[in-house]
Amino acid sequence: MRLIKNELYKVFKLNKLYFFMVISAALMIVQAAAELSNPSAGANVLNGQSFPLWMLSRIMPLFIFFMALTLAEMISDEYRSGTLKLFLLRPVGRIGLLNAKLAALAVSVLILLLVVMAEGYIVGTAFWGWGDRLVADDAAFSTLRGIGITLQSYAFTALPCLGFGMVITLVAIRSSSMGGTIGISLGVMFILTALENVRSLNPYSIVHQMNLYRSLIGDAGSSNLSVGLLNIAAYLLVFYGISIVTFKKKDLLI
């Protein structure tokens, strides 16, 4: 717990989380203004209740960039500066150290998700008013049910986010520079996003699973939900295992 508190302290002290909260609010305002002036298909149902859910998939690249920057500082930059080896001079194991960093990342992602959801409600209400119901994927829900679905969707999306975070973790361990970690991570995101056009590969893409929350509102069947969850679990377990092995073998004492 002391290791986790220390990693969380660094996240908050460096103000990255606050910076991304401000950026996410600005992106929502820009998106809302664009939709208000030139609405896209389906945007006519937007209101304060619908906007957070409508924005969820559109703001996911911001979370990937946040995780890339955070892990680049937590792992790549600390390796370059020699900070990582200082921890090993204490009775701290490598697995415990890495787990603490991943736990801090998970907490940070959950906090950012909750803040972004709240920002969505505020921005949506400011532009369209609160509205009388949530409308998503041609389905309408009462206010209380809509808030529950939105909260559940944001919490659910943390899973594929952290699945991609495990990919970034391996990149950060293998890379010795922040720029390399961020560049490679964003490159992987762009490649997987481009492969969205290949439907046969969609079930195996962690980026595609960031839209899996739509299963909660009836856009996908239970079979798609099961496949998606298995995909996410595979990314979490496989890349975590490879990251542990790689981190244990990495020469941190140079």
pLDDT, tens digit, 9 for 90 and up, residues 125-168: 999 999 999 988 778 899 999 999 999 999 999 999 999 999 99
Quote the CA–CA distance of 215 and 212 in Å, as a whole number: 6
Phi and psi angles of residue 49, each rounded to the nearest 5 degrees, phi first: -80, -30
pLDDT in tens, 163-185: 999 999 999 999 988 999 999 99
| Mean pLDDT to the nearest integer, 20-42 | 89
pTM of the predicted model over 0.75: yes
What is the residue extent of each domain of the chain? Answer: 2-249
pLDDT band at 44 (very low <50, low <70, confident <90, very high): low
| Mean pLDDT to the nearest integer, 93-106 | 92
Vertex 66, ends 160 and 188: CA angle to 5°? 60
pLDDT at 195: 81
pLDDT at 42: 58
pLDDT at 142: 93
pLDDT in tens, 187-238: 999 998 888 778 777 778 899 899 888 887 765 555 578 888 999 999 999 9
Give the mean pLDDT of the chain. Answer: 89
- Of 57 and 137, more confident: 57
| Mean pLDDT to the nearest integer, 54-78 | 93
State percent of the chain over pLDDT 70.
94
| Mean pLDDT to the nearest integer, 70-96 | 83
pLDDT higher than threshold 90 for residue 119: yes
pLDDT at 99: 94
pLDDT band at 3 (very low <50, low <70, confident <90, very high): confident
pLDDT higher than threshold 80 for residue 39: no
pLDDT higher than threshold 70 for residue 114: yes
